[in-house]
């Protein structure tokens, strides 16, 4: 009887020998939505929260208006190979919970992209988007 109980675990182990482990890095990655709030901290302080984000191709950056002052997103600079085109400056969001979405695609090269809220840049409303895994 002891042999029967021993034979089952050994057979199970033998079936597992030779199979390659599956790593998360080997699996296809689902795009993520990254939320960035546009926040009125005080009458003279406006910020993006978070101010530094990292994204990969396919991810969506959703900028959400949370304050009362109008805010927008303007991409000021990016690494060589970046072509912002029509997404360089987004619309002004004026109502709470209004959103502006940017999908990370072929316009974004790998590296750091700087963005600002145009009217509040001088008050510190700036941020960075680091793109990783782009084809370029």
CATH number at residue 90: 2.60.40.420
Quote the pLDDT of residue 8: 52
Distance CA 123, CA 102 (A): 23
Q: Does the residue 17 lie in any domain?
A: no
By residue range, what is the domain housing residue 117? 27-131
The pLDDT assigned to 136 comes to: 54
Confidence of residue 26 (pLDDT cuts 50, 70, 90): low
pLDDT in tens, 36-60: 999 999 999 999 999 999 999 999 9
Any domain includes 102? yes
Q: Is the dihedral of CA 24, 25, 27, 29 positive or negative?
A: positive
What per-residue confidence (pLDDT) applies to 21?
Answer: 55
Phi, psi of 123 (to 5 degrees): -100, 10
Task: List helix spans (H) across the chain.
Answer: 2-16
**Contacts with 28 (C-beta within 8 Å, 6 or more apart), sequence order:** none
Closest CA to 124 of 87, 86, 63, 71: 71
Residue 5 maps to a domain: no
- Contact between 73 and 89 under an 8 Å Cβ cutoff? The reply is yes
Catalytic sites, residue numbers: 71, 117, 120, 125
Matching residue, tokens 């599956």? 22
Q: Is residue 1 part of a domain?
A: no
Q: Structural domain tally of the chain?
A: 1
The answer to whether position 7 is within a domain reads no
* Angle (CA) 39 45 47, round 5°: 40
Q: Looking at residue 41, what DSSP letter applies?
A: E
Q: Are 93 and 71 in contact (CB under 8 A)?
A: yes
Q: Is residue 123 part of a domain?
A: yes
Residue 63 lies in a domain: yes
CA distance linking residue 5 with residue 7, whole number of Å? 5
Question: Is there a contact between 101 and 62 (Cβ–Cβ < 8 Å)?
Answer: yes
pLDDT bin (cut points 50, 70, 90) of residue 34 is: very high
- Arithmetic mean of pLDDT, 14-40: 73
């Amino acid at each position: 009887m002891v042999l029967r109980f021993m034979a089952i675990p050994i057979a199970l182990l033998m079936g597992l020998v030779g199979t390659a482990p599956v790593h998360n890095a080997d699996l296809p990655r689902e795009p993520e939505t990254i939320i960035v709030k546009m926040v009125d901290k005080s009458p003279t302080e406006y910020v993006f929260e978070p101010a530094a984000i990292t994204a990969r191709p396919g991810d969506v950056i959703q900028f959400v208006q949370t304050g009362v002052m109008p805010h927008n997103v303007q991409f000021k600079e990016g690494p060589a190979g970046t072509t912002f085109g029509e997404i360089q400056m987004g619309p002004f969001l004026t109502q709470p919970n209004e959103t502006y979405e940017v999908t990370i695609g072929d316009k974004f090269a790998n590296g750091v992209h700087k963005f600002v809220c145009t009217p509040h840049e001088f008050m510190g409303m700036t941020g960075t988007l680091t793109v990783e895994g782009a084809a370029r």
